[in-house]
Every structure is written in C-alpha cells, then in structure tokens.
Amino acid sequence: MTTAPVDVDTARRDYAALVERGLSLDITRGKPSPRQLDLSADLLTLPNGQYKAEDGTDTRNYGGLKGLPELRRVFAGALQVPVDQLFAAGNSSLELMHDTIAQAMLSTLPGAPRRWADEPRIAMLCPVPGYDRHFALAERFGIELIPVPMTETGPDMDVVERLVAEDAAVKGIWCVPKYSNPTGVTFSAEVAGRLAAMPAAAPDFRIIWDNAYAVHHLTDDEPELADILALCAEAGNPDRAFVFGSTSKITFAGAGVGFFGASEANLAWWQSVLSKRTIGPDKVNQLRHALFLKDADGVRALMRKHAELIAPKFAAVDRILTEELSDLASWTKPTGGYFISLTVPEGTAKEVVRLAKEAGVALTPAGATHPYGNDPADAVIRIAPTFPELAEVEEAVRALAVCVRLAVAQRA
C-alpha cells in the first residue's frame, strides 16, 4: 500500500457532503441478514408434530446430556470430530467456550496441576487481529491476554512456540482456524501441526479451536483445514484441543445449536461437570435441525444459498475499496467467513471510526480486534458486510472511504 498525499480541502468537502446525507448504516457485527435467515424458514414449523428421535427418545422430556446423535452426525464431518466425541448443546458456541473456561477455573482439567482459579496467574494467547468476544470472555476471568501476530497462514508460530514453551501461565490460545475473524485466514497444515506438537510449559495448555466458519465458503475454492484433534493425538498431546462450532450462521443466529468436541478424557471431565448443571439440552431444537438439514449435503446446499446472498456483498466491498482506497489502505479478500479486515494508515483507525459514526455509519470500534481494545498501530478496522442490503453495504463502504481520506489528510 502506498500513502499518496490526500488533499485536505477535497477530503473535508467530501466528508461534509457525506454528513449532509444523514445516513444511518451499520456494518459492525457479523450477523446474518433477514434473507439469510429466511433460508431456514422451515425451522419455524418443524419438527411439525414429530418428537421422537431416531432411537425412540422423546425429545420433549428430560435427558440426553450429549445431544441428539442424528444431529451430531450431521456436523461431525464438518467439525472434524468423531460423532462419539461431539456434544450438541444449547444455542451458542460462545457460551460453550465460556463454560469450558469457567469450569477449568473451578474444576481441575485433565492434565492440570490444580484448578485455574488457584493459579497465581493465567494467560492466553490472542492472535491479532482477532475476535473481540474471545478476548472479552477471557479478560472477564482475570486472564491475561497476550497478543501474537497473525500471518497469511495463521498465528506466527515462532512467537507462539516461544511463549508457550517458556511461560507455564500460558494456558491456551484462541483460534478461529478457518476463515478467521476478521482476516479470513485459514490456518495452514503446518501451523496446525506445530500447535498440536509444540512443547508447552503448562501441562494443561489448551487450543481453543473455534471453528465458527467451518462450512462458510464464499467460493468453490474451499481450503482444507487440518484435523486438530487427530494432530494433537498423533503428537502425544491428545487432550490439548477443545473444538467448537455452531449453526448460528447456518440456520438461526439466535436459535441454533452449539457443538463441543474434544478427547475422551476432556469429555469425561466435561460430562462430569455438565451433569451437575443440566439434565440435557433442548433436544426438540436439535431434532428440528436434524430434520431440516438432514445430512452434510443438506448443510452444504444451504451454505451455497448463503454464499449466493453474501458473496456479492463481499465483492462490493472489495470493488469499492479498490476504487477508492487503493492508494491508502490494504484489506483482506476472504474466500469465506463473515469479515473483511481493513488496514488504514497507522494512527488513523480510531479517527476513521469516529468520523464514520458522525456521518451515520456504525463500525466496530477501532481496536476491538485486539486484546484490551488496544491496536498499537491504530490501523485495523473490521468490516462486517453480511447484515445490510447490498446497496447499503456499498453506501457504507463509500462513506468509509471518505472518512479514511479525511482522517489521513487531517493527520498529514
């Protein structure tokens, strides 16, 4: 990226004209659009009177801690977790991640010397730019957040290996391994292999493998993701990975099903703590999903329809950024997932977000992609183009470009 000089007067005039228009647009969060949600309209009448699971279980009643086998089977392949090692749970994988960490705080994990609440210090590695809710979840438990740089192939493994080998307080690393939030990067096989095999000072080190976008392709060029559970087992660290996924961006964002997969030892631990918390998940909703999605092909067909709706929005962002900001900024060109990561000249991201807000365009706060909201370069802005209509996305990104040009001009 070059940073050609921007004419301040032009930038000011353009921005004034923008404010004049009184826009009200929002590209902050990775939410599916109403049209995407319409794709799963059948869920609003299913299970259509049916309540028996394939094994005869009455889904309306208590029980079934692991979730319905027929739904776990639909997602075992996509999440790369053997069916027997995959739990289907409530409506959110975020809460599953939260709860595995909360339970690790309060109940000794397999391999752990003690419960995390009794550790003098706990830290987790946070590839940046990354997912703000991961960071907030960990920070809230008093866990120290250590940023590590993302590369084109995943987190910088030289840095990760050094920190994990040296510091026994480092208990985990946050990963969105496929179509990463917000960079769109899919971890390479080499990165996954090194994560699985690296020596860890903490015997209870965990990889939080948030495979949120496992099937969320925007193109037919689908990257292969390494099987982290298998790699960990092969490397002699069978209990190292916690795998998460959900249907939040497949069916309904608020009324889907979350999944948790791990080793037998981790699952025995999980089942023992979970059984004190609940008598079982909402199996009717799981049946509803199993009947709707049917199998992995059903998921694949549904995701193609999602791509048809959202790929044009990603293309529009790329096109407009190319037209407007080629001289000033760089951005990712993801082939899946929900985000584009825009890198503006150092020291301008916060100002861009502020200017955009005043012009009626809501952006995720600058810095949100970094632990403690602190992007030292003040350069990363996350763009979430899925929720608004295409025309609104276009308008928002053109407005964003005006704000970038002004912020850069003001700084110069």
Window 306 to 365, contacts with its own copies (CB under 8 A): none
From the number of C-beta atoms within 10 Å of its C-beta (0-12, 13-18, 19+), residue 24 rates as exposed
Angstrom distance (rounded) from CA 138 to CA 145: 8
- Alpha helices by DSSP H, listed for 294-384, are 296-325, 349-358
Q: Which of 2, 62, 220, 391 binds its own copies (CB under 8 A)?
A: 62
Q: Which of 27, 31, 260, 397 binds its own copies (CB under 8 A)?
A: 31
Compute how many other C-beta atoms are within 10 angstroms of the C-beta atom of residue 411. 13
Q: For residue 18, give the 3-state DSSP assignment.
A: helix
For residue 409, the surrounding DSSP H or E stretch is: helix 390-411
Q: Please, which residue, 134 or 398, has the CB nearer to its own copies?
A: 134
Using CB under 8 A as the binding rule, whether residue 35 contacts its own copies is answered as no
Of 20-28, 29-37, 350-358, 376-384, the window that binds its own copies (rule: CB under 8 A) is 29-37
Angstrom distance (rounded) from CA 385 to CA 315: 10
Report which of 199, 301, 196, 274 is spatially closest to residue 239, judged by C-alpha positions.
Answer: 196
The least CB distance from residue 243 to its own copies, in Å, is 19
Q: Which of 144, 156, 161, 282 binds its own copies (CB under 8 A)?
A: 282
Q: Which of 6, 15, 18, 59 binds its own copies (CB under 8 A)?
A: 59
Compute how many other C-beta atoms are within 10 angstroms of the C-beta atom of residue 10. 12
Using CB under 8 A as the binding rule, whether residue 235 contacts its own copies is answered as no
Angstrom distance (rounded) from CA 267 to CA 109: 10
Residue 226 sits at φ, ψ, to 5 deg, of -65, 155
Q: Which of 2, 4, 9, 49 binds its own copies (CB under 8 A)?
A: 49
The least CB distance from residue 365 to its own copies, in Å, is 15
Window 86 to 105, contacts with its own copies (CB under 8 A): 90-92, 94-95, 98-99, 102-103, 105
Sequential DSSP letters for 31-69: ---HHHHHTTGGGGTTTTT--B-TTS-BTTSS--TT--H
The least CB distance from residue 295 to its own copies, in Å, is 22
Using CB under 8 A as the binding rule, whether residue 136 contacts its own copies is answered as yes
Of 9-17, 134-142, 224-232, 297-305, the window that binds its own copies (rule: CB under 8 A) is 134-142
Using CB under 8 A as the binding rule, whether residue 252 contacts its own copies is answered as yes
Which residues contact residue 308 at a Cβ distance below 8 angstroms, ignoring those fewer than 6 apart? Answer: none
Angstrom distance (rounded) from CA 409 to CA 345: 11
Q: Please, which residue, 5 or 34, has the CB nearer to its own copies?
A: 34
Using CB under 8 A as the binding rule, whether residue 137 contacts its own copies is answered as yes
Q: Please, which residue, 240 or 288, has the CB nearer to its own copies?
A: 288
Which residues contact residue 345 at a Cβ distance below 8 angstroms, ignoring those fewer than 6 apart? Answer: 3, 328, 329, 379, 408, 411
Q: Which of 22, 34, 56, 236 binds its own copies (CB under 8 A)?
A: 34
Q: Which residues bind its own copies (CB under 8 A)?
A: 29, 31-32, 34, 37, 40-41, 43-45, 47-51, 58-64, 90-92, 94-95, 98-99, 102-103, 105-107, 117-118, 133, 136-137, 140-141, 248, 252-255, 273, 276-285
